[in-house]
C-alpha cells in the first residue's frame, strides 16, 4: 500500500501544510484535521506577510482575491495566489502559493499545494491536490458516495477502509485531469499522471500513467 502514502504522492516542501501531512501515513487521514491545523498555524503567520480577516481567515498580502469571491474560514490563502471572480471557498481550506482558484470553482475541506490550478468550474471537496496539479474545466472531485456509505480506497492488492463518509480525491504532484472528468470518492492518482477528458475515475491510478478509460491505463513514455 506504499503507493498511496503521503511520501509516495507528495513533495512536502511545496505546502505550508507539511507538518500536518508529516503526522499521518495516508493523506486522507489529514482530512478531519485540516480545520484545527489552520487555526493553529494561522496564529503563527507573520503580520507583515498575511492579513487576518475576522477570526479564522489569513490572506497573504501578495495574493489577489476578487471582490466577487467568497472566502469562509478557517482558511489560509498563500502568497501570490489568485482567487478569481465567483470562486467559493467554503472553509477548512489551504490554498498554496501561486495557486489559481477560478470562476465558479468551489473548495471545501481541501489542501491545494503550491502552484495548483483549479481555474474553471471545478468542485474540490475533502481532497488534497499536490504540487502543480491541474484540473481542467468542469472537472470535479466527488466526495460522497451515492449510497452514503464509508469510502474505501481500491488497489490491486485489496481495499483500504478509510472510515470516512466524505473523501474526494488525492492527486499526486503534477497530475493533469482533463476537462469534464469526474473523480469518484476515494480516487487516488499517482504523481505525474494524466487523466483523459470526460473520464469517470475510481480507485488508484499509478504514477506516470495515462488514464484513458476504466480498464485502459497505460504507462507514460519517457521523453
The total domain count for the chain is 1
Across the range 26-48, mean pLDDT stands at 97
Residue closest to 59 by CA, chosen among 103, 93, 17: 93
Task: Examine the pLDDT at 222 and tell me if it is beyond 80.
Answer: no
179-203 pLDDT, tens per residue?
A: 999 999 999 999 999 999 999 999 9
End-to-end CA distance of the chain: 28
Confidence of residue 19 (pLDDT cuts 50, 70, 90): very high
User: Domain containing 157 — which CATH number?
Assistant: 2.160.10.10
Model pLDDT, residue 54: 87
Q: Supply angle C-alpha 134, 137, 139, rounded to 5.
A: 75
Task: Give residue 62's domain range.
Answer: 2-219
Alpha carbons 215 and 223: distance in angstroms, whole number: 24
Residue 168 has pLDDT above 90, yes or no: yes
Q: For 49-61, give one letter per residue: b (16+ CB within 10 A) or e.
A: ebeeeeebbbbbe
pLDDT of residue 223: 63
Distance CA(96)–CA(44), nearest Å, equals: 16
According to DSSP, the residues that pair with 70 across neighbouring strands are 88
Confidence band of 214 (pLDDT split at 50, 70, 90): confident
- Residue 121 pLDDT more than 70? yes
Query: Tell me: the pLDDT tens digits for 128-153?
Result: 999 999 999 999 999 999 999 999 99
Rg of the chain over CA atoms, in angstroms? 16
Report the pLDDT value the prediction gives residue 43, as an integer from 0 to 100: 93
Identify the DSSP state of 154.
E
In this prediction, residues 32-54 reach a mean pLDDT of 96
Residue 1 pLDDT exceeds 90 = no
**Residue recorded with cell 482533463:** 178
Q: What is the mean pLDDT of the chain?
A: 96
CA angle 189, 157, 155 (to 5 degrees): 25
Rounded Cα gap, residues 106 and 203, in angstroms: 23
Residue 102 cell numbers, joined: 477560478
Q: What is the mean pLDDT of residues 64-88?
A: 97
Cross-strand bridge partners of residue 210: 194, 218
At 71, give phi and psi (nearest 5°): -120, 120
Q: Average pLDDT, stretch 1-19?
A: 96
CB 78 within 8 A of CB 65: no
| pLDDT, mean of residues 102-122 | 97
Q: How far apart are CA 73 and CA 56, in angstroms?
A: 5
Amino acid at each position: 500500500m506504499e503507493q498511496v502514502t503521503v511520501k509516495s504522492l507528495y513533495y512536502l516542501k511545496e505546502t505550508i501544510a507539511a507538518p500536518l501531512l508529516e503526522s499521518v501515513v495516508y493523506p486522507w487521514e489529514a482530512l478531519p484535521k485540516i480545520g484545527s491545523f489552520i487555526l493553529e498555524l494561522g496564529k503563527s503567520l507573520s503580520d507583515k506577510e498575511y492579513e487576518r480577516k475576522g477570526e479564522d481567515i489569513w490572506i497573504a498580502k501578495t495574493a489577489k482575491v476578487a471582490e466577487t469571491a467568497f472566502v469562509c474560514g478557517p482558511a489560509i490563502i498563500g502568497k501570490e495566489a489568485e482567487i478569481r471572480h465567483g470562486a467559493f471557498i467554503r472553509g477548512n481550506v489551504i490554498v498554496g502559493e501561486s495557486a489559481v482558484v477560478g470562476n465558479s470553482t468551489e473548495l471545501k475541506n481541501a489542501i491545494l499545494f503550491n502552484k495548483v490550478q483549479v481555474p474553471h468550474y471545478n468542485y474540490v471537496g475533502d481532497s488534497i491536490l499536490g504540487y502543480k496539479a491541474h484540473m481542467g474545466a468542469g472537472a470535479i472531485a466527488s466526495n460522497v458516495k451515492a449510497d452514503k456509505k464509508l469510502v474505501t480506497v481500491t488497489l490491486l492488492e485489496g481495499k483500504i477502509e478509510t472510515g470516512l463518509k466524505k473523501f474526494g480525491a488525492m492527486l499526486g504532484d503534477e497530475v493533469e485531469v482533463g476537462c469534464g472528468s469526474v473523480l469518484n470518492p476515494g480516487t487516488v492518482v499517482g504523481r505525474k499522471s494524466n487523466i483523459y477528458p470526460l473520464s469517470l475515475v475510481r480507485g488508484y491510478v499509478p504514477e506516470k500513467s495515462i488514464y484513458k478509460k476504466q480498464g485502459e491505463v497505460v504507462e507514460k513514455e519517457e521523453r
